[in-house]
Chain A
Amino acid sequence: AALKDALRSQVSAALKEGRVTPTELCQRCLALIKSTKFLNAYITVTEETALKQAEESEERYKRGQPLGILDGIPIAVKDNFNTAGIETTCASNMLKGYISPYNATVVQKLLDQGAVLLGKTNLDEFAMGSGSTDGVFGPVRNPWSYSKQYKEKSIPKSHSEDKEPDWVISGGSSGGSAAAVSSFTCFAALGSDTGGSTRNPAAHCGVVGLKPTYGLISRHGLIPLVNSMDVPGILTRCVDDAAVLLGSLAGHDPKDSTTIQDDFKPFELPNLTDVSKLSIGIPKEYHAPGLSSEILAFWSKAADLFKNAGAKVVEVSLPHTRYSIVCYHVLCTAEVASNMARFDGLEYGHRSDVKDSTESMYAATRREGFNDVVRGRILSGNYFLLKQNYEKYFVKAQKVRRLIASDFGKVFRSGVDILLTPTTLSDAAPYTEFIQEDNRTRSAQDDILTQAANMAGLPAINVPTALSERGLPVGLQFIGRSFQEKQLLTVAKWFEKQVQFPVIQLEEVKRHDSGVFQQQKSASFS
């Protein structure tokens, strides 16, 4: 089995038949992590425990009793999920050295099914950002920066003192997870999505990024950013794998009262061949200012693809789209101000040496522990929550949120099944260019296409579509109705099959994957 293989259809079979063992898979992934260290995708690599888990999995396969499809599968988890006995930092000084005393529900579920946890991935500090550039462990590099496809298109630098390619960002805030999946160091990774943090890096790194419906997957153990919008995100290399992960993670959790109580039935995705009964909506407001002509063209082509296959493709309107980013800005900072209040140095995390008074210790701890981005959002949030501003900003934003959510409701009630939009405004920017603007500006620009889905709580998925002129991945986003993940993923899988997104060609992976190579040229398996 190759590291490029799809979970359900190939790796799982290979493990069952003994063509590859969990320890082999684990060792290969760990070796690849080491040789792709320059990507900075991982904050913590849990080599010992991973190998132990792999050995236990191997025992189960030997007895013919694997726990399920995920048994023995190497996965990575974003470093804002609590993992028992393993450092959980949120890429912040505030939690450096913090060893979680418990597993987040989603982590526990994965471990209960025998998944092998390779490590914790890098992110923007406290998941605030759209580049994975603002964490204390440094930025994450997009693996495509080192791909044959990108290097071929790069203009060679005239001054050759700079031998490093101009590497591009991975997107964020779940950049580490996206980079890990994209560079084959794991088969799937957990991210989180509050404004697009799973879909954005998925688009830039050429992987599938699923944001499930709010309330479907437990947030217990996910260090919260915005309680009314956060969801755990799923990053995989193909849509089928995303469905597998979803199946293992979704469902009511008594420890998270915001999960719905309905029974969730895991599903296998049908191979859709007839799209004539489908109605695809193209929201015109998603032709946002700054959208690159390249992406506009891909979006157009995708719409035509559906039309030519017999689907009904209609232009629709989500009139409040342009206010969603403003609304998000207010609600997000307000909830952040509240959620970050727990970090005071007393019970966990960084604690300042200042000891004159409780308040001065708290203030010093927070000054030392948080970066500018976090502190900025806390202060903005507190401003919007001041008595004199509460109605004007916070409640106003909550009203606008209802308008945004009902925009979607109207469109779905009019007969549209799925919305098709771009995921990002352009392909990944070079790091040096990205950091020219501050985090808030960048987030406001980059989140524009993704965060309305968080406002309305809807499921959305990025599907890698094609390579840009610069040889970098471009993805398109599908947004579905609440709790209709099966329909959403079915359509996404059909689209994935049509576009045959190319596999990344990385030197490092070739070196580690010598062995049985599958004859697959594309990332879409069925």
Chain B
Amino acid sequence: QKVSVEVLDHLEHLALVDFRDSEGVERLQKAIQFADQLHEVNTDGVEPMDSVLEDRWCLYLREDDVTEGNCTKELLENARETVEEYFVAPPGNIPLLKLEEQNTYLQGS
């Protein structure tokens, strides 16, 4: 079954990455096909494994002591747009264009 255009569009919004062309979509289709082989395996009664260290280690909490920081200047240096100690972003709360409004590959498909 092919992935619907709605799902493809949804993925582009979630990932904030575009498929760009038919090759991109084909790549996803192949990836799904490949992953479908998992369903051949019987996993009844098997618990999902989050970490290979599950038996050995539990997350520990350290003391709430400040051990590092004070590196505002260094961190801001890597950003392209800053104002005083702020990272500057374009206006938020403006959703990406809906599928019908776009001029991308998906819209044409």
Contact = CB atoms under 8 A, between A and B. Distances in A.
Interface of A: 98-99, 101, 214-215, 228, 254, 257-258, 260-261, 320, 323, 326-327, 329-330, 333, 337, 344-349, 351, 354-363, 366-367, 370, 372, 375-376, 378-380, 382-384, 386, 392-393, 395-403, 405, 438, 440, 444, 455-457, 482
Given A347-B78, A379-B28, A326 B34 contact: yes
B83 interface: no
A359 B96 contact: yes
B76 to A, nearest CB: 9
B31 A440 contact: yes
A455 to B, nearest CB: 8
Contacts of A405: 49, 52
A98 B40 CA distance: 44
A233 B77 CA distance: 30
Contacts of B38: 323, 326-327, 330, 393, 396-397, 400
B24 A375 contact: yes
Interface in B88-103: 89-92, 94-96
B80 A351 contact: yes
Contact of B53 (A98, A215, A359, A382): A215
B50 interface: yes
Interface of B: 3, 7, 10-12, 14-20, 23-24, 27-28, 30-32, 34-35, 37-41, 43, 46-53, 56-57, 59-60, 62, 71, 74-75, 77-81, 87, 89-92, 94-96
A471 to B, nearest CB: 34
Contacts of B60: 257, 261
B24 to A, nearest CB: 7
Contacts of A398: 48-50
Contacts of B77: 99, 101
B83 to A, nearest CB: 13
Contacts, number: 180
Given A101-B71, A395-B48, A360 B43 contact: no
A21 B99 CA distance: 65
Contact of B16 (A228, A351, A366): A366
A118 B77 CA distance: 25
A215 B31 contact: no
Given A228-B50, A329-B34, A399-B49, A378 B17 contact: yes
B20 A358 contact: no
Classify the secondary structure of A's interface with B: helix
B89 A363 contact: no
A188 B78 CA distance: 30
A396 B56 contact: no
B11 A383 contact: yes
Given A384-B35, A399-B48, A376 B91 contact: no
A21 B56 CA distance: 44
A384 B3 CA distance: 12
A101 B78 contact: yes
A260 B56 contact: yes
B87 A360 contact: no
Contact of A337 (B12, B15, B50): B15
B41 A400 contact: yes
Given A258-B53, A402-B47, A379 B15 contact: yes
Given A228-B50, A396-B43, A379 B19 contact: yes
B89 A358 contact: yes
Most buried by A among B19, B27, B92: B27
Contacts of B71: 101
A456 B55 CA distance: 13
A345 B80 contact: yes
Contacts of B40: 323
Contacts of B46: 399, 402-403
Given A333-B31, A351-B81, A358-B91, A379 B11 contact: yes
Contacts of B39: 392, 396
Contact of B27 (A214, A356, A438): A438
B45 to A, nearest CB: 9
11 contacts: A215-B53, A327-B38, A347-B79, A349-B78, A357-B90, A359-B95, A375-B20, A376-B28, A379-B19, A383-B11, A386-B14
